[in-house]
């Protein structure tokens, strides 16, 4: 028989297209990697400005103490795998990065709030890095686009 827990597990994903209400603080971790996604409107092609996005990311990650393991710039969104020292640094990093990119690319660039998911080290972390590599190969045209198994049908 399964024992019920008195304390519910926190939702590890927040923001983006999810219908999360803003009643609780975003779930973040300073010990585990975080998958961060910034979604833009379809009228802007971020892939054309990937060098600008990557240089801004490295500049502000260094300034706020964020460790960036992977960055994948797609046509309408950007994926990151990061490790943050604390919540304050995460907020400063995301606010600064999104504001500077929007200033360079045009107002009204971001479609949703940033999506974050706290992942685990090991298999989950390697899976994220493989996912970023697969996305890069697809956006550069090396591999043909394949809809993910977990995605909508």
Question: Which of 2-11, 25-34, 93-102, 144-153 is modeled with the greatest confidence?
Answer: 93-102
Are 40 and 47 in contact, with CB atoms under 8 Å apart? no
Residue 6 has pLDDT above 90, yes or no: no
DSSP summary character for residue 40: B
Closest CA to 62 of 29, 96, 113: 96
**Mean pLDDT within 37-47:** 82
- Determine the Cα–Cα distance for residues 72 and 35; give it in Å rounded to an integer: 11
**Mean pLDDT within 74-94:** 92
- Determine the Cα–Cα distance for residues 61 and 36; give it in Å rounded to an integer: 13
Closest CA to 127 of 48, 70, 59, 64: 70
């Amino acid at each position: 028989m399964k024992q019920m827990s008195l304390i519910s597990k926190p939702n590890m994903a927040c923001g983006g297209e999810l219908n999360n209400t803003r009643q609780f603080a975003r779930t973040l971790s300073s010990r585990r990697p975080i998958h961060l996604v910034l979604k833009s409107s379809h009228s802007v092609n971020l892939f054309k400005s990937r060098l600008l996005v990557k240089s801004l990311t490295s500049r502000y990650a260094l300034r706020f103490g964020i460790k960036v393991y992977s960055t994948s710039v797609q046509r309408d969104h950007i994926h990151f795998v990061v490790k943050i020292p604390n919540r304050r640094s995460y907020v400063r990093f995301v606010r600064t990065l999104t504001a500077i990119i929007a200033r360079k690319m045009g107002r009204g660039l971001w479609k949703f709030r940033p999506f974050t998911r706290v992942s685990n080290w090991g298999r989950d972390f390697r899976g994220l890095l493989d996912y970023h590599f697969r996305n890069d190969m697809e956006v550069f045209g090396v591999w043909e686009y394949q809809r993910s198994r977990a995605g909508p049908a």
